[in-house]
Amino acid sequence: MEKPNIVERKPAIITLEAGTYHWCHCGRSATQPFCDGSHHGTEFVPKSFTISETTKVFLCMCKYSKNRPFCDGEHKELEDK
């Protein structure tokens, strides 16, 4: 199974306005934490999610969260990846 690139070992803490977003799962996007299409040719696809009102979010940047696109603290367990 292909592994995603670890972008950072901490979440991206950002405030998003209402709308639909496409979180980068592969870790290759130049527009982190969002998809820029760089996953083409990999087994990864972006995770789409919708925000209904302006919200501060913690988006996963290690790409190993089990609660994608949100951080679940998994980056603290990544020493061997």
Nearer to ligand FES by Cβ, of 68 and 74: the residue is 68
Nearer to ligand FES by Cβ, of 29 and 65: the residue is 29
And the tokens for 65? 């969260």
If one asks whether residue 43 binds ligand FES (CB under 6 A), the answer comes out as: no
Under rule CB under 6 A, how many of the chain's residues touch ligand FES?
Answer: 12
Nearer to ligand FES by Cβ, of 34 and 58: the residue is 34
Region class of 38: left (phi > 0), else alpha (psi between -120 and 50), else beta? alpha
- CA-CA distance, 14 to 42, in Å (whole number)? 27
